[in-house]
Amino acid sequence: MDSRKKVEVCFSPNLYSLHKEDADIVVVIDVLRATSAICAAFDNGIKKIIPVSTVEEAIEYKRNKNYIVAAERKGKIVDGFEFGNSPYSYMNENIKGKTLVLTTTNGTKAFHTAKDAKHVIIGSLINLDAVCDYLFKEYKNVMILASGWQNKFCLEDTICAGAIVEKLLSSGKFTSEHDSSIAAKFLFLSARDNIFGYLKASSHRRRLRALNLNKDIKYCLTPNQTDVVPIRENDYLVKG
């Protein structure tokens, strides 16, 4: 019997129910930009993050002055909010020790899609090796859930998922059965020498470039800038 653990990739929250039986741990990914912003916020001292699905829920939290409340839709900060989804907005001293409430177009939705999973962590390119080390240590069946764009496949999340698959498979301790995992690995192998260039024509890079967010894109596509691994506890995230 093959005693290796599985690592599989789910391309979109809409496909989650087809893959969920594979998972003891779900890694939620939204490289551009929600999960990169979440990692950056913890890296800069945020204590807790509450991902919420709707702008209305986020507005409720604004009544309490102890929270930083952030809302992004289609790449822009929602009117009436000071914070959105840029990792750079969390790189400041004032966020230390605070709780962030965050709603985004796809990333926080994917987080809630995995609500029935036993164990959920947050991955991105910026914490790639730390996520892999965590998965080696836990040594359970892994499912990587790409947030995609409005339930559609997206390249940047798939490449990040492929990087995790590649690292786990190369150890000989994990195996993959599904074509989605193999495809993600091959996409990563073709992109790895220049992820930024490879994604030049991708729809989300074009969308963010049109909003003058090139600096954010560069940051989010640069692997291994932090060893933070955000972990779900109850319905919020803490630094692992």
Enumerate binding residues for ligand 3SL (CB under 6 A).
30, 32-34, 72, 75, 85, 104-107, 208
DSSP type of residue 65: T
Minimum separation from the CB atom of position 85 to ligand 3SL (A) = 4
Closer CB to ligand 3SL, 159 or 208, in the complex: 208
Minimum separation from the CB atom of position 181 to ligand 3SL (A) = 23
Closer CB to ligand 3SL, 75 or 162, in the complex: 75
Q: Single out the residue of 230, 212, 234 nearest to residue 75, CA to CA.
A: 212
In angstroms, rounded to a whole number, what is the distance separating the alpha carbons of residues 128 and 113?
Answer: 22
Relative orientation angle of helices 155-170 and 203-210, to the nearest 10 degrees: 130
Closer CB to ligand 3SL, 33 or 185, in the complex: 33
Minimum separation from the CB atom of position 156 to ligand 3SL (A) = 10
Q: What is the dihedral of CA 162, 229, 39, 99, to 10 degrees?
A: 150
Tell me if residue 27 falls in helix, strand or coil. strand
Q: From the CB of residue 105, how many other CB atoms can be counted at a distance below 10 Å? A: 18
Tell me if residue 70 falls in helix, strand or coil. strand
Tell me if residue 90 falls in helix, strand or coil. helix
Residues 226/126, Cβ–Cβ less than 8 Å: yes
Minimum separation from the CB atom of position 58 to ligand 3SL (A) = 13
Closer CB to ligand 3SL, 106 or 225, in the complex: 106
Instruction: Enter the tokens of residue 223.
Output: 């692997």
Minimum separation from the CB atom of position 122 to ligand 3SL (A) = 12
Closer CB to ligand 3SL, 107 or 123, in the complex: 107
